[in-house]
Homo-oligomer: A and B are copies of this chain.
Amino acid sequence: MNIGEVADRTGIPAKTIRYYEDIGLVRPMRRPNGYRAFRDTDLHKLAFLGRARALGFSIEDCRTLLGLYENESRESSQVKIVATEHLAAIDRKIAQLQSMYKTLSHLVDGCQGDHRPDCPILSDLSGNP
């Protein structure tokens, strides 16, 4: 399979697939003409990566997970640790965004949004109590 078809089938842009090869996440064969030749295993790996990335795992986490996936003698606890830590990070991020949302939505609600310059958003940002 050429890179274009792999891109179509996985939904991962060709550019990104090349990047993943660059950083050693996939190692497709090469044809005599220099084109990458993807096997089904490469396709599966890329689909795996696509799903892991969609769940927000970092590239390094993806590398780890892919390694565990291909390691017959893995222990599910190893996978669970990675996923649990990521889950906690997501949770922290959500909390942080919700805090921003809360603050900002109050400010926005208080802003008239008219032709006059007075604005509680700017007041708050400028340190006005």
State the copy count for this chain. Answer: 2
Question: Chain A: interface secondary structure?
Answer: helix
CB distance from A34 to the nearest CB of B (A): 30
Which B residue sits closest to A65, measured CB to CB? B125
Judge whether A101 and B77 touch: CB under 8 Å. no
Contact A55 to B100, CB < 8 A, known contacts A119-B80, A126-B69: yes
A30 at the interface (CB under 8 A from B): no
Partner of A104, one of B90, B112, B115: B90
B101 touches A90 (CB 8 A): yes
Decide: B87 and A94 in contact? CB cutoff 8 A: no
Check A101 against B97 for contact (C-beta < 8 Å): no
B125/A80 in contact, CB under 8 A: no
B76 near A117 with CB under 8 A, answer: yes
Most chain-B Cβ atoms within 10 A of its Cβ — which of A56, A80, A86, A111? A80
| Chain A 81-125 near chain B by CB (<8 Å), digits 1 or 0 | 101101100110110011011011101100111111111011011
> In chain A between 14 and 61, which residues have their CB closer than 8 angstroms to a CB of chain B?
44, 47-48, 51-52, 54-56
A8 at the interface (CB under 8 A from B): no
Q: Does A129 contact B (CB under 8 A)?
A: no
Residue A79 CB within 8 A of the other chain? yes
